[in-house]
């Protein structure tokens, strides 16, 4: 069971690590962040100025406001081109920016004659920021490639290199945690995932990583708690909450803890959300077989058949074939 859990968790964590597994494509969850300060034409902070961030690819707008010091921060931005506008009453200042992996900084001035189009940073500063972001992204991607090649120590060195210039790179910490988990260095992995959560408390992938390593250590209560938190926070939203992968993880943890009926409910939900998740089909079949009734055995059969169709050479294929053959 542990192997299956790790593979599924790695699929979730692949937002940064892009671990190559066959069951699903790696997700992309690299996020950008921006912060800055809004002042008036006398250099005094502007409180409660509205900050609008328009994603020019999706046409989606996020909004936040400045605090008493005129400061603002927005995290969780998909990389891309944004138009950021600071405004209060009739005054505004706008800048077009390219959000990347690192924390970007853009300040604004609201005053007479600032009706929009003002530049938050100089061209020279923007060029330096872009070069820095490009270098960090290159190093990060090198770490991903090394991780995929099984060169864990070298991958971690690359992610740590990014952290020197981008201390809040949550994807770097998540990747380090994943690599350390694979190496069974659980203390180091736990510290890395918790550091990612410190910077981004709603980082579902880091909670999935914790669930994975706790499950590997047979700390099932902690694993269940972390998996539940991940399910509440993230992945593709679905009816009933959470993602199919997170829900499947929760089922595996419950199964390992001997809570079979609860595990069965999670596998049922995972299959409902993603019928093509082979392992969820298999473990739902196993949960049904575990009840021992002839009716449940018959109900289990199509789930084993679905598994064999989805993963004909999978690790559970021989077991599934035997069970299907035994069901009349």
Cα distance between residue 283 and residue 268, in whole Å? 9
Task: Indicate if 32-121 has the same CATH topology as 2-29+132-274.
Answer: no
Cα distance between residue 267 and residue 280, in whole Å: 6
Domain extent listing, the chain: 2-29+132-274, 32-121
Return the axis-axis angle of helices 2-17 and 278-291, rounded to nearest 10°.
150
Q: What is the 3-state secondary structure (H, E, C) of 223-266?
A: HHHHHHHHHHHCCCCCCCCCCHHHHHHHHHHHHHCCCHHHHHHH
Closest CA to 205 of 2, 75, 17: 17
Tens-digit pLDDT string for the chain (328 aa): 333 332 222 222 222 322 222 222 233 335 678 889 999 888 899 999 999 988 877 777 888 999 999 999 887 787 788 889 998 887 888 888 888 777 788 888 887 544 444 444 455 666 676 777 778 888 888 998 898 888 999 999 999 998 888 888 888 999 999 999 989 999 999 999 999 998 888 888 888 889 888 888 888 888 888 877 877 775 433 333 456 777 787 788 778 778 888 888 889 988 988 899 898 999 999 999 888 888 888 899 999 999 999 999 888 899 999 998 988 7
With residue 71 as reference, give the H or E element that holds it.
Answer: strand 71-77
Closest to 158 in 3D by CA, of 180, 133, 141, 183: 141
What is the Cα–Cα distance from 327 to 255, expressed in whole angstroms?
Answer: 23
Query: If you classify domain 32-121 with CATH, what class do you get?
Result: mainly beta
> What is the rounded radius of gyration, in angstroms, for the C-alpha atoms of the chain?
24
The DSSP bridge pattern shows strands 80-88 and 50-55 to be: antiparallel
CATH number, domain 2-29+132-274, options 1.10.10.10, 3.40.50.170, 3.40.1010.20, 1.25.40.10: 1.25.40.10
Q: Which two tokens stand for residue 77?
A: 């931005």
- Give the span between the Cα atoms of 43 and 160, in whole angstroms: 37
């Amino acid at each position: 069971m542990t192997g299956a859990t790790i593979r599924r968790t790695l699929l979730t964590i692949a937002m940064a690590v892009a671990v190559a597994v066959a069951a699903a494509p790696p997700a992309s969850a690299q996020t950008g962040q921006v912060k800055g300060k809004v002042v008036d034409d006398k250099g005094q902070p502007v409180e409660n100025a509205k900050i609008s961030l328009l994603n020019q690819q999706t046409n989606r707008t996020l909004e936040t406001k400045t605090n008493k010091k005129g400061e603002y921060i927005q995290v969780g931005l998909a990389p891309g081109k944004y138009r950021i506008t600071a405004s209060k009453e009739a005054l505004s200042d706008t800048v077009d920016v390219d959000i990347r992996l690192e924390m970007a900084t853009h300040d604004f001035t609201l005053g007479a004659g600032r009706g929009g189009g003002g530049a938050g940073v100089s061209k020279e500063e923007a060029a330096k920021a872009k070069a820095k972001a490009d270098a960090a992204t290159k190093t990060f991607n090198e770490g991903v490639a090394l991780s995929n090649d099984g060169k864990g120590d070298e991958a971690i060195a690359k992610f740590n290199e990014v952290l020197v210039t981008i201390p809040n790179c949550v994807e770097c910490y998540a990747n380090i945690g994943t690599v350390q988990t694979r190496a069974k260095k659980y203390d180091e992995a736990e510290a890395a995932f918790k550091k990612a959560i410190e910077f981004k408390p709603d980082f579902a992938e880091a909670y999935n990583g914790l669930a994975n390593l706790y499950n590997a250590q047979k700390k099932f209560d902690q694993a269940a708690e972390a998996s539940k938190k991940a399910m509440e926070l993230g992945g593709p939203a679905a009816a009933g909450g959470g993602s199919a992968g997170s829900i499947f993880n929760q089922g595996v943890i419950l199964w390992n803890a001997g809570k079979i009926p609860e595990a069965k409910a999670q596998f049922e939900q995972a299959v409902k959300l993603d019928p093509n998740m082979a392992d969820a089909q298999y473990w739902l079949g196993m949960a049904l077989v575990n009840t021992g009734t002839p009716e449940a055995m018959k109900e289990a059969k199509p789930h084993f058949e679905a598994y064999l169709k989805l993963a004909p050479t999978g690790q559970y294929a021989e077991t599934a074939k035997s069970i299907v053959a035994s069901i009349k």
